[in-house]
Amino acid sequence: MLLLAVAMLANSLVTNAAWDWPLVWRFLFARTVLHGLLLTLEFTVFAMAIGIALGIVVAVMRMSGNPIVSGVAWAYAWFFRGTPVLVQIIFWSFVGALYPYLSLGIPFGHEFVFFNSNQLIPVYVGVVLGLGLNEAAYMSEIVRAGILSVDHGQSEAAAALGMQHRLVMRRIVLPQAMRIIIPPTGNETISMLKTTSLASVVAVTELFKAVQQIYGANYKYIPLLVVASLWYLLVTSVLSIGQHYIEKRFSRGVTVRPVGGRAR
């Protein structure tokens, strides 16, 4: 039964002219599409970079003994998780468009100094901010769960050796928390890749907007959606493979056995 269904599906994929594979192939490497893909990748990388870095900061703040510090962190997560990311993207790109010089104070800002006259750049920053700040709220929860998973005896032993709080976090707690943090972070990255398509609403020609523009002109909806999907699939596959290797790297001491095996 299942085989039959698969066979029928495959048959229709190949024979039904609506799929138009030659067209798919032609547009797969079209300049606009590749340019859109690049933008999509940039958004994913920058938004995740902000999300992870800020997420760690928020998580550590959240666990601080100081009620004001942990309160700020709590409020951050509350606000950014409680509002739709689409709203935040639109909001930040408006702020970006209204205050083009804001980009100066933002990470990797120096890159944008040259482009300050260009209206598109602040929108670009707005998208990255919208995605990144939202992501940080989710990442902070993931990081916090990771930190809490590490036995308290670990930070005590490290403190007893004279290590300061920051060093304990960096050398002892976070590396162990990584085992818990990495799998959901991989999922977040893959999810982020797809969420960047929301940037299409603020007139940024990322991958999805690029195919929209093409099928807006030639009305070949299906083949162009296939083009976008193929690229998304390819990149998520590459990300999954990368995730696998990073997970392996951070499971040192947990699954890795040195030669000679277990003593006694």
Partner 1 sequence: MSAPVVVADGVRKRFGDVEVLKGIDLTVHSGEVMCIIGPSGSGKSTFLRCINALEMVDGGRLFVQGQLVGCRADASGELYRLNDREVAKCRQHIGMVFQRFNLFPHMTALQNVIEAPTRVAGRDRSRARTDGMEMLRRVGLADRADAYPRDLSGGQQQRVAIARALAMEPELMLFDEPTSALDPELVGDVLDVMRQLAHSGMTMVVVTHEMGFAREVGDSLVFFDDGAVVEAGHPGDVINHPQHQRTQDFLARVS
Distance separating alpha carbons of residues 174 and 219, to the nearest angstrom: 51
Classify 65 in phi/psi space as left (phi over 0), alpha (psi -120 to 50) or beta. Answer: alpha
The count of other CB atoms within 10 Å of the CB of residue 222 is: 14
Q: Which two tokens stand for residue 216?
A: 């807006």
Which of 59/172 has CB closer to partner 1? 172
Distance separating alpha carbons of residues 253 and 78, to the nearest angstrom: 36
Distance separating alpha carbons of residues 116 and 147, to the nearest angstrom: 40
Name the segment binding partner 1 (CB under 8 A); options: 5-13, 78-86, 99-107, 152-160.
152-160
Query: Should residue 245 be labelled a site residue for partner 1 when binding is judged by CB under 8 A?
Result: no
Between the alpha carbon of residue 6 and those of residues 10, 12, 162, the distances in Å are: 6, 10, 63
Query: Should residue 261 be labelled a site residue for partner 1 when binding is judged by CB under 8 A?
Result: yes
Q: What is the dihedral of CA 10, 33, 127, 143, to 10 degrees?
A: 50
Name the segment binding partner 1 (CB under 8 A); options: 85-93, 97-105, 225-233, 256-264.
256-264
Which of 31/262 has CB closer to partner 1? 262
Query: Should residue 156 be labelled a site residue for partner 1 when binding is judged by CB under 8 A?
Result: yes
CA-CA-CA-CA torsion sign (40, 46, 50, 55):
positive
Which of 39/169 has CB closer to partner 1? 169
**Binders in 81-140 for partner 1, by CB under 8 A:** none
User: Judged by CB under 8 A, which of 44, 176, 195, 196 binds partner 1?
Assistant: 176
Which of 26/165 has CB closer to partner 1? 165
Between the alpha carbon of residue 27 and those of residues 75, 94, 208, 211, 230, the distances in Å are: 45, 32, 13, 9, 11
Query: Should residue 157 be labelled a site residue for partner 1 when binding is judged by CB under 8 A?
Result: yes
Name the segment binding partner 1 (CB under 8 A); options: 97-105, 159-167, 207-215, 217-225.
159-167
Query: Should residue 263 be labelled a site residue for partner 1 when binding is judged by CB under 8 A?
Result: yes
Name the segment binding partner 1 (CB under 8 A); options: 51-59, 87-95, 102-110, 171-179.
171-179
Binding site for partner 1 (CB under 8 A): 151, 153-154, 156-165, 167, 171-172, 175-176, 250, 252-254, 256-258, 260-264
